Amino acid sequence: MGLLLYQFKLKIQEKILLPVMRKHPKLADLYYFAFSSDFSREHQKVMNGKYLHLQALKNGRPNAFHLRREVHRIEKGLVMRNRRDVFALDFIKDVVKNYHILKSQSNPKEVDADLLNWASSVIQKYFESVDGANPVVKEAKLLFYGDDKPKPKLNGQLTSVPYLREDATVSKVNYESFYKLAMQRRSVRWFQDKEVPHDLINKAMLAATQSPSACNRQPFEFRVFDQKELKDKVGSIPMGIRGIFSNVPTFVVVVGKLSAYLSERDRHVIYIDGGLASMSFMFALETLGLSSFPINWPDIESLEKKMEDLLGLKSDERPMMLIGIGFADPKGGIPYSQKKSPEQLITYN
Ligand SMILES: Cc1cc2nc3c(=O)[nH]c(=O)nc-3n(C[C@H](O)[C@H](O)[C@H](O)COP(=O)(O)O)c2cc1C
């Protein structure tokens, strides 16, 4: 009966609703208002994220994502070619103020010493690099240092500031070894009954932290589960691993944080940034002798609710995907998974 009803609904959508309502964005809005609640949670989560971000700003305690974005903007300004004498006048005072606020906050999980050091170094570099006679710069500088005494030249003492490409450390990994690693990584679903040491997961994460993210916000968290009962509860929720989850020693739930953004236009970035970090993470696991497989997180309200309750997710947080990890069972089968060719995937100009 359930299947028949589902097929009937699909037919109505295909024959009547979709042909008409797909023709204009407002009709699409109407469709998703009147006939489907499939986007409801996404809308609500995006809205919660925006609200939390705005409330934090209004209460004078901006979140760390905000500071990260601002410091990133200053760094981009510092590396501009033919840079103007002054820039960032519209937000430099804000950066300094937010830096001081977050420095006084005791939440090392969100605002750690490295973030504060980066912010402080970039702000100092900014003051050293722009026209100090500008009144806005003067004010911001006074706000930052607390006095207007002349400051000694930094002379390369700052480490967390823009640098030249030619000064960067170059890895010894060549194309052949990287390609081999890419070939080695396959989705492994059968594992040895062996614990995954936390230090290996932490090491893989250290590599994953180097992944790019929009405005360097890094709007995700990797929630790791390996305590048998709990990890089986987590693994039993996604649909795509129903027959295999108990064999997987460790699950990661990659959680995105929508309070990283002020604007709806950035609503997809959690998935992009989370995906990029997950890929680096899985490659790093391979280099440490571990195998993994990504696990789909379908946007289904009942499952979202289950995961939210189990993980105690906040109002702006969404699971984006899961990753299963373990030491591969050498006798476990691996699907061949034929790949497309570069010619199929690339078009030039
Ligand atoms: C977003 C995403 C979701 C996936 N979901 C599942 C899943 O639910 N269950 C599963 O067994 N594999 C899942 N996979 C693994 C894919 O089946 C696998 O990556 C694909 O077939 C290519 O094989 P390879 O990873 O070995 O190259 C998923 C992969 C991705 C990227």
Q: Which of 190, 194, 198 is nearest to 225 (CA)?
A: 198
Task: Please enumerate, as own/partner, the contacts of 157-165 that have beta carbons within 8 Å and a separation of 24 or more.
Answer: 158/121, 158/124, 158/125, 159/121, 160/114, 160/117, 160/118, 160/121, 160/122, 161/75, 161/78, 161/121, 161/122, 161/125, 162/75, 162/78, 162/79, 162/125
Other C-beta atoms within 10 Å of 70: how many? Answer: 23
Q: Is 1 helix (H, G, I), strand (E, B) or coil?
A: coil
Cα 180 from Cα 165, distance rounded (Å): 27
Ligand 1 atom nearest the C-alpha of 335 is 26
Report the nearest-CA residue for atom 22 of ligand 1.
Answer: 337
Report the nearest-CA residue for atom 19 of ligand 1.
Answer: 187
For residue 177 and ligand 1, the question of a CB distance below 6 A is answered with: no
Cα 160 from Cα 16, distance rounded (Å): 58
Q: C-alpha 237: how far from its chain's center?
A: 22
Spell out the domain ranges in the chain.
2-36, 43-166, 175-326
Ligand 1 atom nearest the C-alpha of 334 is 26
Candidate of 254, 296, 323 to mutate for ligand 1, largest count of ligand atoms within 8 Å of Cβ: 296
Residues of the chain with pLDDT under 70: 1
Q: Does domain 175-326 have CATH number 3.40.109.10?
A: yes
Q: Copy the structure tokens of residue 216.
A: 């360097």
Q: Copy the structure tokens of residue 157.
A: 């003492």
308, 244 Cβ separation under 8 angstroms = no
Q: Is 241 helix (H, G, I), strand (E, B) or coil?
A: helix
Q: Say what the pLDDT of residue 330 is.
A: 98
Phi-psi bin for 23: left (phi > 0), alpha (psi -120 to 50), beta?
Answer: alpha
Q: C-alpha 93: how far from its chain's center?
A: 27
For residue 132 and ligand 1, the question of a CB distance below 6 A is answered with: no
**Which residue matches tokens 């289950």?**
306
Cα of 335 from ligand 1 centre, angstroms:
10
Cα of 163 from ligand 1 centre, angstroms:
38
Q: pLDDT tens-digit profile of 69-112? A: 999 999 999 999 999 999 999 999 999 999 999 999 878 888 99
Q: Which of 66, 57, 81, 74 is nearest to 140 (CA)?
A: 74
Cα of 193 from ligand 1 centre, angstroms:
22
Q: What is the pTM of this model?
A: 0.95
Cα 271 from Cα 60, distance rounded (Å): 28
Say which amino acid occupies 165: R
Cα of 232 from ligand 1 centre, angstroms:
19
For residue 186 and ligand 1, the question of a CB distance below 6 A is answered with: yes
For residue 275 and ligand 1, the question of a CB distance below 6 A is answered with: no
98, 62 Cβ separation under 8 angstroms = yes
Element (H, E) at 221: strand 220-225
**Which residue matches tokens 């789909």?**
296
Q: Say what the pLDDT of residue 198 is.
A: 98
Candidate of 246, 283, 293 to mutate for ligand 1, largest count of ligand atoms within 8 Å of Cβ: 293
Cα of 318 from ligand 1 centre, angstroms:
20
Report the nearest-CA residue for atom 13 of ligand 1.
Answer: 295
Q: Say what the pLDDT of residue 1 is.
A: 63
N-term to C-term CA, the chain: 51
For residue 247 and ligand 1, the question of a CB distance below 6 A is answered with: no
Q: Say what the pLDDT of residue 61 is.
A: 87
Element (H, E) at 177: helix 175-184
